[in-house]
Structure 1
Amino acid sequence: MLPGSIQITGEALSGAEIKDICDSLKENSVRLLSVRGCQLSDRDFGRVCRGVAESHSLAQLNLNLGVVSTIGRTKQLADALKANRSVQTLFLHGSPLLDAGLVTLNGALSTHPSLVSLDLGDCMLGDEAVRLICGMLPPDGAKSGLKELTLSANPAVSTQGWARLAIAVAHSSQLRVLNLDYNPLGDHIAGMLAVAVASSRTLEVLDLEGTSLTNQSAQVFLDMVENYPTSLRVLVLAENDISPELQQQISDLLSEGEEDEDKDGEARGRDPSGRDMSNSSSSQMVLMTSGLGESFLAETEM
């Protein structure tokens, strides 16, 4: 039997439900576990973490919306991830981790052999956390790193912290999706990110929705996509003080670049991600709107 999924949202979980979850994890019958916004006792959270540690099938773990609510739970999760070898995608959005939580998790996250997608949006992070996250974006030729990173709504990060991240992105050989929406970045940081995008050979999606940008930033991105080759396919600039005309111009140019790449791929008998299509008609990448991590999950099941 193929591993399935357990998805529960916003419920108070009973001991019996926790036992069922843990049994499924230990039996390797779960590929996706989501207990988003659920209430469970510290004891039961520890039981789930032990199940995660023992699972060889779990690829996606969603603990969004406050499930990891204390430093004690953060430590239990870190221990589970140190033992686990299979998790590819980890969602912790809306967890009050603070920098101390990232310090606790860093060893497990940075050395995990399979983790490629990490959501740390709205986790009350600051510069120390960003410094540690940059270590998960190793430069060219180094170990593999994250392919998708979400840092939405972490307003405590300073200009210096975002600049450090921009440098790491410029040198990352892996990152394909970066979500920075709802951070007060401003035009200065956006300019640094434009340089990082121009330097990156892999970044395809950059979400800057609601990040206090103006036409100044948009013009920089327009010049970049108009005059320099880039891997970027999607740039989200909604809810900024940017004219619709500039946004449309950027979107049109990115669409043209993707069409040209698609034609080149077809001419070489390959899909846009560079894989040979001659042996299978179903080998295309599935890029889901909810995140690249889920697309990896879908790809492995096709």
Structure 2
Amino acid sequence: MLPGSIQISGETLSGAEIRDICDSLRENSIKLLSLRGCRLSDRDFGRICRGLAQSHSLAQLNLNLGIVSNLGRVKQLAEALKTNRSVQSLFLHGSPLTDAGLAILNPALSVHPSLVALDLGDCMLGDEGISLICGLLPPDGAKSGLKELTLSANPGITAKGWGRLAIAVAHSSQVRVLNLDYNSLGDQIAGMLAVSVASSRTLEVLDLEGTGLTNQSALILLDMVENYPTALRTLILAENNISPELQQQISDLLSEGEEEEETENREVMAREKNSWICQSSKASEPPLRGGGEKGEWEVGKIGKRLCSAHF
């Protein structure tokens, strides 16, 4: 039987529900556990964490909206994650972690072998927390790091912290999705993020909704999208003091880039297919002088390299 899911929202968990959750974790029968905004005792939270430590099937854990409500629970979660090897996505949005809580959790996060998505939105983080998060974005060539990072609504982070994050993103070889919505970034930080986007080979989605940007930021972002090749496909600029015309121009350019890449991918796949057809037709014929078959093979290898470079 394939692992299923348990999703409960906004309820007070009963003893029977806690037992079912713990049994499912230990029996490796669930892939997704979401307890968004639920109420449970510290004792029951500890029981779930012990089940998490034993689980080999759980890939997504959602504890959003205050589940991890004190440092005691942070410690229990950290201990569980030190043993767990399966969780790929961890959502703690709306938890009062603060920098102190993240410091407790960080050692487990930094060594977890599977974690690729982390939501720390509205977790009351500051610049010290950002320093810890940058450690989860290893530079190019280091161990695998986060591919999706959410830091929405953390007003305690200053320009210094955001600048440090922008540098880490520029040198990270992994991040694909970065959500910074509802933070006080302003045009200065937006300019630094534009440099990060231009430097990153992987960043595809950047959410800057409601971050205090103006047309000044939009013009920089427009220049970046128009004149520099990037992996960026989605840039969210809603609820900023940016003209609709500029937003539409940026959106149109990103859409054009995506269409061009799809066309190029199809052409590469077609060339690769044709090269293999040529190789197959030559296989039953005598070798040509001058290395004809070798020439066909070289075309095939080039096609494969091009194809892999775009996926």
Scaled by the length of structure 1, the TM-score of the pair is 0.89
Q: CA deviation at 1:57?
A: 0.1
Distance 1:251 1:81 in 2: 39
Please state how far the C-alpha of 1:141 moved relative to its aligned partner: 0.4
Match of 1:300 in 2: none
Residue by residue, what CA displacement relative to the aligned partner does 1:119-140 show, whole Å, maximum 9, x if unpaired? 0000000000000000000010
Counterpart-to-counterpart distance in 1, 2:197 and 2:267: 27
CA offsets 1:225-256 (integer angstroms, 9 cap, x no match): 00000000000000000000000000000000
Rounded to whole Å, the distance in 1 between the matches of 2:189 and 2:77 is 33
Pair 1:89-2:89 in alignment: yes
1:210 paired with 2:210, answer yes
- Deviations for 1:123-168, whole angstroms, at most 9, x for unmatched residues? 0000000000000000100010000000000000010000000000
Deviation at 1:269, TM superposition (A): 2.1
Find the residue that maps to 2:257 and give its secondary structure: helix
| Cα distance in 1 for residues equivalent to 2:133 and 2:27 | 32
Q: Distance in 1 between matches of 2:238 and 2:43?
A: 43
1:253: which partner in 2?
Answer: 253
- Tell me the alpha carbon deviations over residues 194-225 of structure 1, each in whole angstroms, 9 at most, x when there is no partner: 00000000000000000000000000000000
Percent of aligned pairs sharing the same letter: 79
1:122-141 alignment, distance < 5 Å: 122-141=122-141
For 2:155 and 2:182, the matched residues in 1 are separated by 8
Post-superposition CA distance 1:79-121 (Å, at most 9, x none): 0000000000000000000000110000000110000000000
1:149 maps to a residue whose letter is: L
User: Could you list the runs of 5+ residues in structure 2 that have no partner in the other structure?
Assistant: 271-275, 277-311
Highest CA radius of gyration, 1 or 2? 2
In the other structure, the counterpart of 1:35 is 35
One-letter amino acid matched to 1:218: A
1:167 is matched with which residue? 167
User: Mind listing any 5+ residue stretches in structure 1 that lack a counterpart?
Assistant: 271-277, 279-302
For 2:12, the equivalent position in structure 1 comes to: 12
2-side partners of 1:232 and 1:155: how far apart? 25
What amino acid is the match of 1:127? Answer: D
Amino acid at match of 1:201: R
Corresponding residue of 2:302: none
After superposition, what is the alpha-carbon deviation per residue over 1:247-282, rounded to whole angstroms, capped at 9, x for unaligned? 000000000000000111111229xxxxxxx9xxxx
Q: SS state of the match for residue 268, structure 1?
A: helix
Counterpart Cα distance in 1 of 2:64 and 2:8: 11
Residues 1-302 of structure 1 aligned to structure 2 (within 5 Å): 1-269=1-269
Q: In structure 1, how many angstroms separate the alpha carbons of the residues matched to 2:31 and 2:269?
A: 32
Aligned AA for 2:240? N
**Counterpart-to-counterpart distance in 2, 1:269 and 1:53:** 44
SS in 2 for 1:76: helix
Q: Match for residue 297 of structure 1?
A: none
Q: Which amino acid aligns with 2:144?
A: S
Measured on the aligned residues, the alpha-carbon RMSD in Å equals 0.9
Greater relative contact order (Cα < 8 A, sep 6+): 1
In the aligned structure 2, how far is the partner of 1:130 from the partner of 1:217?
Answer: 23
Letter in 2 for 1:258: E
- Give, in whole Å, the separation in 2 of the partners of 1:151 and 1:201: 21
Deviation readout 1:61-95 (Å, 9 max, x if unpaired) = 00000000000000000000000000000000000
Per the normalisation by structure 2, the TM-score is: 0.86
| SS of alignment partner, residue 32 of structure 1 | strand
Query: For the residues of structure 1 that align with 2:237 and 2:70, how far apart are their CA atoms?
Result: 34
